[in-house]
Amino acid sequence: MLRLEGVSAGYGRIQVLRDVSLEVSAGSIVALLGANGAGKTTTLRVISGLIRPLSGAVYFDDRRIDRLPPEAIVRLGVAHVPEGRQVFAELTVGENLILGAYCRRDRRRIPADLERVFELFPVLRERRKQLAGTLSGGEQQMLAIGRALMARPRLLLLDEPSLGLAPMVVREIFRTIRQINADGTTVLLVEQDANLALQVAHAAYVLQTGQVVLAGPAAELRRNEAIRKSYLGY
């Protein structure tokens, strides 16, 4: 469904990604692991069109997307939940969700999708009229995911959904990620907590200083000695 071929990218003169190739097959959850600064977020930013790769190509459904603007990529069916959630703090929860559907052409189906988001995250229904900035961290993460779902994505990019959240909340969010995937959305998950990520993911890639150093099915990586030592901590 998604394929990166030899992608190099960076900011200004600083190169972050070097020759990254990876593949996400339809229906799966793929985790992107690695330490801080390994290039996980940059990879997602390349996919969603926020930055253009210096070289290499990104294919979504065999269509090349690395020269498209973000709004075109959203319309093709790729939604990105950015690091730090990035909800519109000064807009209400309801407005945030409606804007998630901004690029949709089938306006009539939006109420049903809103209903689905409220079913996944009942707390958002209660807070509908509240400003997003007044939500707790966990609720903001739910809102960010809900907003992305309003675009009806076939591929959901999640950047560190567990960041700064209490373990209880993290568990709830990961349960929902599984649910979203079971409902038919493919997920590419960036996560620092490798343990957590390998529990939900089917496959994973490990990035180190901008390069893919390891890849394979999640079960296999869980058993891998090197992964255990550097990322799982046991």
Partner 1 sequence: MTEGQLLSLAQQVVSGLSAGSIYALLALALVLIYQSTDVVNFAQGEMAMFTTFIAYTLLTWYGVPFLPAVALTLVFAFLLGYLVERVVVRPVEEAPVLSVVIVTLGLYSIFNSVAGWVWGYVPKGFPSPISGGTVWFLGLTVGLLDLWILGCGLVIMVLLHLFLRRTTLGTAMRAVAHNRTAARLVGIPVGRMLSLGWGFSAMLGAIAGMLAAPKIFLEPNMMAGVLLYAFAGAVLGGLSSPFGAIAGGLLVGVIENLLGALVATELKSGLAFFMILAMLVVRPQGLFGTVHRRKV
Regarding 137 and contact with partner 1 (CB under 8 A), the answer is no
**Residue 102 or 115 with smaller CB distance to partner 1:** 102
**Residue 53 or 82 with smaller CB distance to partner 1:** 82
Residue 46 contacts residue 58 (beta carbons within 8 Å): yes
Taking alpha carbons only, the member of 83, 56, 55, 52 closest to residue 68 is 52
**Residue 105 or 223 with smaller CB distance to partner 1:** 105
Structure token digits, residue 82:
């950015």
Regarding 71 and contact with partner 1 (CB under 8 A), the answer is yes
Regarding 128 and contact with partner 1 (CB under 8 A), the answer is no
- Among all chains, which residue has been given the structure tokens 């790729």? 78
**Residue 48 or 141 with smaller CB distance to partner 1:** 48
Taking alpha carbons only, the member of 187, 201, 204, 192 closest to residue 79 is 187
Which of 34, 39, 100, 210 is the binder for partner 1 (CB under 8 A)?
100
Q: Determine whether 60 is exposed, middle or buried from the number of CB atoms within 10 Å of its CB (0-12, 13-18, 19+).
A: buried
Residues binding partner 1: number (CB under 8 A): 26
Which of 35, 50, 57, 123 is the binder for partner 1 (CB under 8 A)?
50
Return d(Cα 142, Cα 164) in angstroms, integer. Answer: 13
**Residue 74 or 212 with smaller CB distance to partner 1:** 74
The dihedral built from the CA positions of residue 56, 104, 94 and 181, taken in this order, carries a sign that is negative
Task: Give the footprint of partner 1 on this chain (CB under 8 A).
Answer: 48, 50, 69-71, 74-75, 79-80, 82, 86-91, 95, 98-100, 102-103, 147-148, 150-151
